[in-house]
Amino acid sequence: VPVDGSHWLSMRELLDMLQQKGHEVVVVAPEVTMHIKPTKTIAIKMYPVPFTQEEMESVPKGLIEDVFEEGSFLERVMRLYQRAKKNSALFLATCSHLIRNKELIRYLEESKF
């Protein structure tokens, strides 16, 4: 159950090595991601989330914009705080939709994931 973005890019290397050693690799990921995609060697079980691809892609773009936008120190801190709140809500929704997905949880339990 990886985290998207740069974390996934590192994780993918590890998963490729595990697969090369004969392990069956199954990744559980939200349907909306930046980088997590099925490959020939990695199976992905996806689950729905309540946000769009555009909203997901706005996370790193918005952070970069907020960091470089001008303003007083307090204004910049407040923008970053608001951005962190928004991003945290998105990640919380991802986790909530995973654990509330009865069909996926049943699959994970039955397959001894």
Nearest C-alpha neighbor of 27 from the set 52, 5, 2 = 2
Tally Cβ neighbours within 10 Å of residue 30.
Answer: 22
Cα separation, 113 vs 99, in Å, equals 14
**Gap between the Cα atoms of 112 and 10, Å rounded:** 25
Is residue 48 within 8 Å of 94, Cβ to Cβ? no
Question: φ, ψ for residue 39 (rounded to 5)?
Answer: -130, 180
Closest CA to 47 of 88, 109, 94: 94
Q: What is the value of pTM for the model shown?
A: 0.77
Q: For residue 25, give the 3-state DSSP assignment.
A: coil
Any idea where the domains of the chain sit in the sequence? 6-111
pLDDT at 42: 85
Tens-place pLDDT, residues 23-75:
988 899 999 998 898 888 888 999 999 999 998 888 888 888 888 889 999 99
Q: What percent of the chain has pLDDT over 70?
A: 98
